[in-house]
Amino acid sequence: MEFCDECGSMMKAGEGEDHWVCTACGFEKGRNEQEEAAMVTTQGQEASEIIDVSDAEDKGLPTTTVHCPECGNDSAYWYMQQIRSADESETRFFVCTECEHKWREDDH
């Protein structure tokens, strides 16, 4: 993918594909095969480079001491998320480190 030096829009390969043409302003520039070969593309990425961390023990979230209403465990991962209007506080979500029960805590 190439972006226009003049307006910043995305460019496409022109006729004969030896140059780039801007889709917005029509600016043209030549293609450089060496630079393009060095670019990382989604087609060029191997599946082995993707690491699945969905079952990771710590889930990448901080933990806190809080009582799980489902199993009684005293440790949970937590995160905050804005689910209501912007003038209201965020909602705290907890996920039990033992049974993975999920619950939320709202400020009132």
Q: How far apart, in Å, are the Cα atoms of 75 and each of 55, 66, 71, 97?
A: 18, 6, 11, 6
Helix (H, G, I), strand (E, B) or coil at 27: coil
Binding-site residues for Zn(2+), in ranges, read: 4, 7, 22, 25, 68, 71, 96, 99
Residues with Cβ within 8 Å of 68's Cβ and at least 6 positions away in sequence, in order, are: 74, 76, 94, 96, 98, 99, 101, 103
